[in-house]
Amino acid sequence: MPTTAADRPNLLAKKPGDIVLLIIGLLALMLGAGQGPTWLTILGVLFLIGGVVVLAMKVSRRNDADLR
């Protein structure tokens, strides 16, 4: 059983890294949707989905550890 946060495996870096991923995805989505190239819109959607999934995995892992 881990006693500190350093004993846990990290998915990316920390939560600020996930927030940056979400912000980059949102910016790319807005730029692509406003008369930008289609690839930029798709990239923005992928970054947004990735950021939400990783953040949700971290929250669920933290909550799962509290239940044990």
53 closest CA partner among 10, 8, 23, 22: 22
Could you count the other beta carbons within 10 Å of the beta carbon of residue 58?
17
Provide the pLDDT confidence category of residue 3 given band limits of 50, 70 and 90.
Answer: very low
Distance, CA of 21 to chain centre = 6
Which backbone phi and psi does 13 adopt, to 5 degrees?
Answer: -115, -80
58 closest CA partner among 3, 15, 6: 15
**pLDDT per residue as tens digits for the range 9-57:** 555 456 777 788 889 999 998 999 888 899 999 999 999 999 888 888 8
pTM comes to 0.68
